[in-house]
Amino acid sequence: MLRWLDRIPLVWLTLLALWLAVAPIVPEPHLVEKLRMLSQGALSSPLDIFDLLLHSVPLVLLAVRLWRRTRDR
């Protein structure tokens, strides 16, 4: 089911995940801002929810990919 994820080069997935996790660096990363808004209960705008997903999905995919890689060994 997740074989498509195994076909993505790990280097590219790592770079994408790290880049989107810290972008933009100044004044603060969007992921940090959106997680703060989520913890405060202020994440209600559809654009903010999309932004949270955009910046967090590559990290989740990287975690799943690494978990599958270590499990198969």
pLDDT tens, position by position, 15-50: 999 998 888 888 888 888 889 999 999 988 999 899
- In one letter, which amino acid is 48? D
Compute the distance between CA of residue 62 and CA of residue 49 in angstroms, rounded to an integer: 20
**pTM given for the model:** 0.81
Q: Compute how many other C-beta atoms are within 10 angstroms of the C-beta atom of residue 27.
A: 6
pLDDT of 65 strictly over 90: yes
Cβ proximity of 18 and 73 under 8 Å: no
